[in-house]
Amino acid sequence: MASNNNNSSSGGNIPVSEVYWSLVDKADKKFSKIRDLPFYQRNRYDTYFYKVFKVYTQLWKFQQENRQKLVEAGLKRWEIGEIASRIAQLYFGQYMRTSDAGYLSESYVFYEAILSREYFKEGLLQDLNLANKQLRFFARFMMVCLVLNRREMVHQLVSQLKMLVDECKRTFQEADFKEWKLVVQEIVRFLKADTAFMNTRPLRYSLVLDPSPDCLPQVSISIGKRNLRLRDAILSSYHHNEVKFSELTLDTFRMLQCLEWEPSGSFYQSGGASFSGMGTKIGQNGSPGPSRINYSHDITDPTLPPNPRKAILYRPSITHFIAVLATICEELPPDGVLLIYLSGSGRGRQTIVPSYGAGTSLDTTENIVRGFQSHNILSEANSTSPFRSPSDSPNPSSGQSKEDCISCHSGCLHIGSRGNGGLNFIYPCDLIPFTRRPLFLVIDSDSSEAFKGINGAEKGEPAAMLLSPSSLSPLVTTVDTSRHPTGSLFTIFLTAPLQAFCLLLGFSSSDVEMDLYSKAEKLLSSSLNDWGLTLATSDALDLAWAQILSDPFLRRILLRYLSSSHTFFFLIFKGFKFPDMHKKIKIKSMNPENLDWNSSTAFKILS
């Protein structure tokens, strides 16, 4: 149809090839304009996307209808692949702007077609430019597969990428392929850290495994006058030598998934073996889930609500970070909450070495096990729970003082490595102007305590904050003790709590039997639901938490935070506590003694 329209406009005298190349030129110009547009502005660039996508749709249809004539005129297969690759890039870029899983699905479909039809294979090792196109295709497709959790395809692509890099090094000896070797090293390191064990259950919110949003207990109207929803999120992580692929770090990768809906059943579509090698997945309440079906079966689920939009910032300058933050706050809907996840080291950190008695030196795993054997769940009277108010603390000096507020201007978080120091650090006071809108802050840093200073300095809305402990491993004195080979332990607790618990116990995937793991999963799930009910029915819940508790994503993160701080961290690392949350949850029944889940029980199950 496109061919007929173009020919009729000039009396049918324009050759098909000229019409085609005219469309290619037009599409290239529009693509170059949209490629560098920022991902974080809500609807500002939708018009650009639809215009460029319309041109590429027209171009794709035209080459399909006139394929034989175009081939006779000299069209190469790789040129068809280039069009398909551009369309896949457009879809993925729009997914990054909107978090709409449908765009991610379409991107996968086009990339998979390129792979199966081998558009770039012909003459690959005779043309360096064509070889680079194939290499870039592999890297882009791997990113899409990672986000879609298509691990079998990722491993297939990694193998092909390795072989192609080796072949190119032998064939094009004058070219330098060091950058592509680094790409291979990055993805191999990423997959080694993000193991099958870490993906035993989907990180996304699953209606099969997680409570249905329609069934969540409602907060008392007298407290929660508004039911806010997570509409946007800013995710930024930077640590020296951290695990990443391209600009997606392992921590932001997990948080990205944690803030999306899992399409019903899609996690079980392919025959991925579980970490135990039994090929069984955990279903709701710890029961075996359905076996995976067709790998390319439905990815999207039209019955699900839209995903919150996410802006992923890798090593941003502070000016860029603030520009993104200001734009999102300006466009935030009236019922919206903005989640800000920041993971980075603090400035001028100090290593803390705790005392465990007269010269006691224990192996890390042994110490963890001994901690569980010698402690029951502690009562509130002798607990250093971060959810008690300063006035409840037996140590008056632990309460918040004026110095805590001053720390808002002194402590900071490292988010990049460019320019001078001022461009690389976020201070708590940088966030205060944006508390005119509802914020949900997740700070994963050894300097997280400095962000307590935001409490009381808000400009209109109470900011909800979840702050990591300053250290997770008291027996390790190396730099950045909160980091684990599989990523930040704090972030793992928020995204995959039971796996994090196993890591702290020193268990590997081969140490955990699936039926025992299922029991622990069922226990944790049941207890988190009980905690959620306790919070929702309490009249003592602070407004900052009451107004976000009906949002399934924020509720799940909050309950996992409560679980990790109340049971895991305090019991294992006595003396290593979380900073006080700025809004205290002073609910007597939240005492771990009154809850079914406790780490001693879990330890007995898993061991």
Whole-prediction pTM: 0.80
Structure token digits, residue 92: 């993925």
C-beta separation of 385 from 566 below 8 A: yes
The answer to whether position 112 is within a domain reads yes
472 falls in which pLDDT band (50, 70, 90)? low
Please name the residue that has the structure tokens 């309950």.
559
The answer to whether position 355 is within a domain reads no
In percent, the amount of the chain with pLDDT more than 70 equals 70
245-270 tens-digit pLDDT: 999 999 999 999 999 999 865 554 44
The answer to whether position 277 is within a domain reads yes
Q: Are residues 284 and 168 in the same domain?
A: no
The answer to whether position 356 is within a domain reads no
Q: Are residues 233 and 277 in the same domain?
A: yes
Question: Which of 176, 193, 210 represents a domain boundary (last residue)?
Answer: 193
Distance CA 110, CA 112 (A): 5
Q: Are residues 172 and 250 in the same domain?
A: no
Q: Are residues 167 and 204 in the same domain?
A: no
Question: Which of 193, 213, 242 represents a domain boundary (last residue)?
Answer: 193
187-217 tens-digit pLDDT: 999 999 998 888 888 999 998 889 888 888 8
Angle between helices 514-536 and 497-505 (to 10 degrees): 120
Q: Are residues 580 and 542 in the same domain?
A: yes
389-402 tens-digit pLDDT: 333 333 333 344 44
The answer to whether position 354 is within a domain reads no
CA 559 to the chain's CA centroid: 18
Q: What are phi and psi of 310, to 5 degrees?
A: -130, 135
Q: Are residues 169 and 249 in the same domain?
A: no
Distance CA 237, CA 244 (A): 10
Domain with 592, as residue range(s), is: 197-348+361-606
The answer to whether position 156 is within a domain reads yes
Q: Are residues 27 and 56 in the same domain?
A: yes
The answer to whether position 272 is within a domain reads yes
Q: Are residues 270 and 174 in the same domain?
A: no
578 falls in which pLDDT band (50, 70, 90)? low
Distance CA 279, CA 266 (A): 16
Predicted local distance difference test score (pLDDT) of residue 515: 85
> Nearest CA to 465 among 446, 443, 485?
443
Q: Are residues 317 and 329 in the same domain?
A: yes
Is residue 291 predicted with pLDDT exceeding 60?
no
Question: Which of 127, 160, 193 represents a domain boundary (last residue)?
Answer: 193
411-458 tens-digit pLDDT: 888 888 766 667 789 999 999 999 999 999 999 998 898 999 998 899
Predicted local distance difference test score (pLDDT) of residue 12: 58
Q: Are residues 384 and 522 in the same domain?
A: yes
Distance CA 46, CA 399 (A): 49
For residue 148, the domain's CATH number is 1.25.40
What is the tally of structural domains in the chain?
2
Q: Are residues 206 and 155 in the same domain?
A: no
Q: Are residues 183 and 317 in the same domain?
A: no
- H/E element, 404: helix 402-406
